[in-house]
Structure 1
């Protein structure tokens, strides 16, 4: 089974090397690795070119944002299964993709997801939040909850059937896609009870109060668009759960 991993990046020379080496260090052999760059000007492309012989597909051109870049990657992907690893994230160890492959091969679900740890951008050992999907239920979408997007892998054919990322959302197109796939269309899924991804705080959905406000408005719009009953009060209630995730984070 071929697994396509897509990394999208724009002007992120500080962390792109870590993301690339995280993928290249995986012990699963049948990986198609794609990097979609948004015409970076800060030296990111020079770093990527150092690994050019180990990257299956690399394009650098202007895009309409992170989700447009993800859609470009999906269009180019030829794997049986597709997942996204952002340029400031990394796999927890060399076994992460093997765990994903084993789960698909054993259970044949439409999709899988697992747990994430969130760390400080400049201290990858400083765990800020433990983002577990162990108790996730589909009705949690009504409250703006979703499994960790960085651990979500789905069969390639589903993106053609159910659609890719809706680029009118600037922060929450990942929520919208998982909502459509898992809640609206009820694709099958399997939870992997392990941390597979280390996610750096500072991404597009973790930056400041204005981003939080925009994200929640986008969540509300996505839920309404997909005819899922919710309201803004329910969406903001998810922050009570986040408090527990911060409290329950492992020390290292």
Structure 2
């Protein structure tokens, strides 16, 4: 029976509202072979008190100042000893208690597993599927029209998981997934929802900077002219999505 160790990494800073929900989602998984790593940026709002309630379920806790989200993620990667790594950051959740077991039951020894993501609001209410539907057969070129797989919905073999490029402050996860996918030989779509994603975050608050970083990443991998042309497609798809949903809500 395929039973790899999964390193689940949660990074958090001053998110007392959401951290417990995320931790219970991880600790409630029926899959037993999980190494749980929590990286806290030295929170001072009560987050650490909640984290310590679950010390018995945490494999490694790092609580110290960091230089941003991807510095914290790199600390989690460096501490990971599992066969696979995935990030379930504060505010996000596994889709249900059997998610990890279902992912690894889908195929043996893939380099990457991925699935679909449901968006949730601050109140925990479902906002439906992400605008970018996960592709049926993902390859690294599939990000040319946007991030079609969410960060919370991808499991990467640890040997393929390089550190995040910290020159990107908001979109290094796109670069990280592309680099891993370029090296992967087997990428498996588990054909199910695997994560709940809390809408918002830094990339939402600093949207213009995030878009600039994404354009730079896509230009580097796909070329300048194709990236410019692809952004016309992205703009059209975004406009159509907005129009379609406005009609639905009217």
TM-score (norm 1): 0.86
**Contact preservation (8 Å) 1:120, 1:128:** no
Deviations 1:73-123 (A, max 9, x none): 1111111111000101011110111122223xx34210011000111112x
Distance 1:228 1:98 in 2: 39
Give 1:143's match in structure 2, choosing from 138, 145, 155: 145
CA contact (8 A) 1:142 1:228 kept: no
Structure 1 residues 43 and 157: CA distance shift in structure 2, 3 A: same
Q: Which moved more, 1:129-138 or 1:185-194?
A: 129-138
Distance 2:138 2:83 in 1: 26
Say whether residues 1:33 and 2:28 are aligned partners. Answer: no
Matching residue of 1:157: 159
In structure 2, distance between residues paired with 1:136 and 1:203: 28
1:213 aligns with 2:208: yes
The CA deviation at 1:49 is: 0.6
Match of 1:21 in 2: 24
Task: Output aligned runs, 1:188-207, within 5 Å.
Answer: 188-207=186-205
Instruction: State the SS of the aligned residue for 1:165.
Output: coil
The match for 1:231 is 227
How far apart, CA to CA, are the structure 2 residues paired with 1:67 and 1:236? Answer: 29
Alignment partner, residue 250 of structure 1? none
Distance (Å, rounded) in 1 between the aligned partners of 2:48 and 2:160: 31
Q: Tell me how far apart the structure 1 counterparts of residues 133 and 222 of structure 2 sit (CA, whole Å).
A: 26
Q: Rate the CA distance shift 1:236–1:149 in 2: closer, same or farther, 3 A.
A: farther
Residue of structure 2 equivalent to 1:88: 91
* Structure 2, unaligned runs of 5 or more: 246-250
Give the SS at the match of 1:17: helix
Q: How many residues matched?
A: 237
- Identify the match of residue 52 of structure 2 among 42, 49, 52: 49
1:149 CA displacement: 1.2
Q: Are 2:118 and 2:126, in contact at CA under 8 Å, matched by a contact in 1? A: no
Gaps of 5+ in 1: 248-252
**3-state SS of 2:188 partner:** strand
Alignment of 1:101-116 (within 5 A): 101-103=104-106, 106-116=107-117
**In structure 1, how many angstroms separate the alpha carbons of the residues matched to 2:9 and 2:232?**
31
Q: Find the aligned partners of 1:118 and 1:6 in 2 and give their Cα distance.
A: 20
The alpha-carbon deviation at position 158 of structure 1 amounts to: 1.2
Superposed CA deviations along residues 12-71 of structure 1, whole A, max 9, x for unmatched, are 000000000000110001100000001111110011011111111001001111111111
More off after superposition, 107-116 vs 14-23: 107-116
Q: Give RMSD over aligned pairs.
A: 2.1
Distance 2:229 2:66 in 1: 34
Following the alignment from structure 1 to structure 2, what is the Cα–Cα distance between the partners of residues 110 and 186?
6
